Structure 1
Amino acid sequence: MDNLLPNLLSFPPHPPPPNPISDYAYDQGIREQIDYVRKLADSKLLQQTSGGENVLDVINPALNTVPYTFILLANISALKKGTKGVDMEKIWGKMTTFLGTFDPRQIRYLGDQLSDILEAVASIAVTNRQPWVALAPIREALLRLDPTGTILTTSHLALVRLALDSHSYNPVVPVIEKLILYFPGTTNQPRPKYICDMSLNPMQYITPASGLTQKLKYQDVLEYFLYSGMVFIGLRNWEGALQCLENAVTYPAKEGSVSKIMAEAYKKWVLVGLLQEGKLLNLPRSTSSNAAKQYHTLAKPYETFAQIFESGTASRLKAEADQGLTVWQNDCNTGLVLHVLAAYQKFQIRNLANIYSKISIPEIVGQTMSAETGNKLPSPQAGEKLVQEMINQGELHATMSTSPGQPSVVTFAVSGPVLTEVEMQTELGAATERIHALTKEIKQTDRMLTHDKDYIKFIQKQRKNARQGSTGDQGISGPDMDWGGDVEDEDIMGGLY
């Protein structure tokens, strides 16, 4: 191995030259190095140094990503074959370290190899019945590859599936909270001259051709949005869940058709809307009139349940939940329905702030009902416990005071939670960064759509429909959206799994 190391470590030059090498020189140098390493047999890559060291302990993956990648893959291959001397724990540690330290510039040339390593990490974790241990490494790899997180890849879908399988949700939040703006293989995009150009938009180097992702089907996109919503549901993050599910509900489909996945997302969207807003939400205006009609038909039990939540009694809501038990169970939504029942009284308590500035606990118990039982709370102590939990969890902006021999009194905050000056500055700074990032992506999206033939045809069709007065009921939905970009629309009516 010692005689190979000089060539393996020859690129990129280290320490870096005073004047950074051009994109042209970088592209030429890394391609030559990849050609050299690719021709080496695994037996040579697995050789130890003269000092008996594993070469993976010698090479820094952050500096020399190319040779490290191929040597790591040779070790993974040897592990699968059961080659003696290849230690599982050692290789696992090398894989997870690599995914968090590889050079984002070099890895653009190693799409197929990175995908193989990601698959190996997921496979080993699942085989050992510990799918959760693969979440952080895959997350870190995705964020290193594309810090903006704006392009969806097949690895995103694998990540959320692992999160759901393992019931481990927090590790994937940094990925699923990113706004997806692009899908791989977008048409009519100029091919970059050098993929090492660090100013490129991620959709210019994360492509099926680069191997960093596969081409996504219509079903893949919907599953990602649905599964991401389910992850947020697992975290009780109703706002995040609502946004992800809405992405699935409003995803453009031919002739406004609704697939099983979209219907599943809508049912959950209705329930999460109750938990977030306390009412049956109107479908977004971008929903086609045809899709809206199908949603209303397919999810009628859910919409009825939501309407009772909004304007019915606690006992009636509980009866409706009991009557629809088979429906909720078949749709795997029983847990969400139970959360809705628990939320009913909480919304009643919060609504008291519109009437009172102060109110005693016995009065709260007397004026609100539990949909979990269909009755009032059994005692003032139970009411005090519920209100204190709501205050502690940030669900109720209020304070509770007690006096000896007197019932506890709740004082509602007039303008919600009070932030300190430091907290306010932090929130303003974060909001400003989000606005700047979105503005940049919006400009890029506008440029992309301006030259997309499919989108232009879609716009022309919409203008024609508008002139003919066939835009549908704008009170509940928008015009038909049958433009789906370059995502394959096979099996639109296919099953969820």
Structure 2
Amino acid sequence: MDDLLSKLLMFPPHPPPAKPLSDHAYDEGIKEQIEVVGKMSETKLLQQTSGGEHALDVINPSLNTIPYACILLANISALKKGNNKGVEIDTLWEKMIGFLSAFDSRQIRYIGDELSAIIEAVAATAFSTRQAHLAVGPIASALMRLDPTGTMLTTHHLDLARLALDSRNFADAAPVLNKSILYVPGASTITKPRYICDMTLSPVSFITLQSKLTKKLKYLEILEYFLYSGMVFIGMRDWESALQCLENAVTYPAKETSVSKVMVEAYKKWILVGVLLEGRLLPLPKSTSSGAAKCYHVMAKPYETMAQIFENGTASRLKAEADTATNIWRADFNTGLILHLLAAFQKFQIRSLAKVYTKITIPEIVSQTTSAETGTKLPNPQAAELLIQNMIATGELHATMSPPTGGPSILTFSPTGQALTEPQMQRELVLTSERIVSLTKEIKQTDRILTHDKGYIKYVQKQSKNAKTSGATGDQGISGPDMDWNDALEDEDIMGPMY
């Protein structure tokens, strides 16, 4: 191995030159290294140094990502074959997850096949040892290193969402799943970059089917990603993030006369999450096609009824409706959300009291609110105090409760909500500014893609023709536009940017 190390570590130069390599020089150098390492046999890559060390203990994956990945895969292959020349399974696991958290984001763009194989090996190893939760963090870390913007959907994103759901390790997956997806693999209008090592490139330019950093995603797989992401945030009780993920599935382009089962499932959950977030049945986003909206209203009628009762009905009626449709909630795996909805009813009632009172006693709250979990009022003021204390502690209620001094406890509502400290305000301003700059850049990119997208051009031409026809016939009525501009939508895949 000692004589091979010079070849394995020949690029990039270390320490780095005073004048950074140009993209051209970097591209040539790394391709040459890949060719050299690619010619080395598995046997050579498994050799130890003269001091008896494994190459994985000698090479730094953050500096020399290419050779480390190839040696790592050689060890994975040896383990599968039962070859004892590789490292043991426990050591290999540590090396794999360490690699996913440390690889160089520039070099990795050239070895999509290898990265995908390592991610798959991490997932498979975690499943085989019944510790799927351990794979979530490393895979999420790898995706963030590959694309810090998080705007490009890959097949690994879908695997991550499934892993998170299967293992209930929601927190480690959340940073990736919470990113706004703007692109899916296969956009035909993307110009091939001259050098994929250009660090100013949008992820849509280097995470491609050709780079093997992702595979093609089928139409239903894209919908499943949004549904599963929403379910992850439901598991975290993050209703706002869950609503956005589910909305991505609900509003995804579909043929005018039909919607998929996944979209309907997402809509049912979207209704319930919307109620938990805002206490009412939310209107469908304007980007939802009229045909899809009709299907949703028919297929999710019990859910819409629950939402309407929550907003305008009584606790007893809400509980009765929930009990009547128990089989529906169970069949749709939404029983948990229904229980959350019942528990939220009285909380919304308590928060609504702030519109009328600045201060109110606990016994008055008991008399004016009702639990939808039981259909009756709370049994005593102590139960109400406990509920309110939990609401204040979790940030669901901005108020203070004074202890009794010869009389009942009093709840004082905060008119301005939770106040941020000056450092917190500064952090929020910085984060908001960074998000605006990032989104502005990506919006320009998606605009360029749409400008050359054949399906979108046809849609614009059709809309223009329809407008002229309406004008010529004197039709002044307003009709909903045909949102399904991708008429060639198929189950296999969908091209272009997403919104």
TM superposition score normalised by structure 2: 0.95
1:257 Cα deviation after fit = 2.3
Counterparts in 2 of 1:472 and 1:427: CA distance versus 1, 3 Å? farther
Matched, 1:265 2:270: no
1:217 Cα deviation after fit = 1.0
Contact 1:183/1:487 (CA < 8 Å) preserved in 2?
Answer: no
**Structure 1 CA distance for aligned equivalents of residues 477 and 388 of structure 2:** 45
1:366 Cα deviation after fit = 0.1
**Structure 2 CA distance for aligned equivalents of residues 16 and 113 of structure 1:** 25
Cα shift readout 1:123-166 (whole Å, capped 9, x = no counterpart): 00001111000011101110110000000000000001000000
2:9 is matched with 9
**Structure 1 CA distance for aligned equivalents of residues 144 and 61 of structure 2:** 17
1:20 is matched with 20
1:481 Cα deviation after fit = 2.4
Which deviates the most, 420-429 or 116-125?
420-429
2:250 is matched with 249
Contact 2:152/2:183 (CA < 8 Å) preserved in 1?
Answer: yes
Cα shift readout 1:27-78 (whole Å, capped 9, x = no counterpart): 1111111111111110010011111110111111111111111110000000
AA paired with 1:479? P
Q: How does 1:70-469 map to 2 (within 5 A)?
A: 70-85=70-85, 86-255=87-256, 257-467=258-468
Contact 1:217/1:487 (CA < 8 Å) preserved in 2?
Answer: no
Contact 2:109/2:197 (CA < 8 Å) preserved in 1?
Answer: yes
**Structure 2 CA distance for aligned equivalents of residues 244 and 44 of structure 1:** 47
SS state of the match for residue 428, structure 1?
A: helix
Which deviates the most, 290-299 or 449-458?
449-458
**Structure 2 CA distance for aligned equivalents of residues 275 and 400 of structure 1:** 24
**Structure 1 CA distance for aligned equivalents of residues 466 and 254 of structure 2:** 17
**Structure 1 CA distance for aligned equivalents of residues 346 and 482 of structure 2:** 39
**Structure 1 CA distance for aligned equivalents of residues 488 and 133 of structure 2:** 32
**Structure 2 CA distance for aligned equivalents of residues 472 and 82 of structure 1:** 73
Which deviates the most, 178-187 or 481-490?
481-490
AA paired with 1:289? S
Contact 2:122/2:135 (CA < 8 Å) preserved in 1?
Answer: yes
AA paired with 1:99? L
1:489 is matched with 491
> Which of 1 and 2 has higher RCO (CA within 8 Å, sep 6+)?
1
Counting matched residue pairs gives: 489
Cα shift readout 1:70-112 (whole Å, capped 9, x = no counterpart): 1100000001112124300111111111111111111101000
**Structure 1 CA distance for aligned equivalents of residues 74 and 145 of structure 2:** 23
Contact 1:61/1:102 (CA < 8 Å) preserved in 2?
Answer: yes
Cα shift readout 1:295-328 (whole Å, capped 9, x = no counterpart): 0000001001111111111000000000000000
**Structure 1 CA distance for aligned equivalents of residues 493 and 372 of structure 2:** 40
**Structure 1 CA distance for aligned equivalents of residues 311 and 467 of structure 2:** 35
1:422 Cα deviation after fit = 1.8
1:294 Cα deviation after fit = 0.4
Contact 1:186/1:486 (CA < 8 Å) preserved in 2?
Answer: no
1:466 Cα deviation after fit = 4.5
Structure 2: give runs of 5+ residues left out of the alignment.
Answer: 495-499
1:273 Cα deviation after fit = 0.5
**Structure 1 CA distance for aligned equivalents of residues 23 and 14 of structure 2:** 17
1:118 Cα deviation after fit = 0.3
AA paired with 2:491? D
AA paired with 1:143? M
Counterparts in 2 of 1:471 and 1:326: CA distance versus 1, 3 Å? farther
**Structure 2 CA distance for aligned equivalents of residues 263 and 432 of structure 1:** 36
1:490 Cα deviation after fit = 3.3
**Structure 2 CA distance for aligned equivalents of residues 64 and 391 of structure 1:** 51
Cα shift readout 1:226-272 (whole Å, capped 9, x = no counterpart): 00000000000000000000000000112252100000000000000
Counterparts in 2 of 1:472 and 1:57: CA distance versus 1, 3 Å? farther
TM superposition score normalised by structure 1: 0.95
Counterparts in 2 of 1:471 and 1:164: CA distance versus 1, 3 Å? farther
**Structure 1 CA distance for aligned equivalents of residues 343 and 404 of structure 2:** 29
Counterparts in 2 of 1:472 and 1:351: CA distance versus 1, 3 Å? farther
Which deviates the most, 79-88 or 145-154?
79-88
1:423 Cα deviation after fit = 1.7
RMSD: 1.8
1:465 Cα deviation after fit = 4.0
Contact 2:398/2:418 (CA < 8 Å) preserved in 1?
Answer: yes
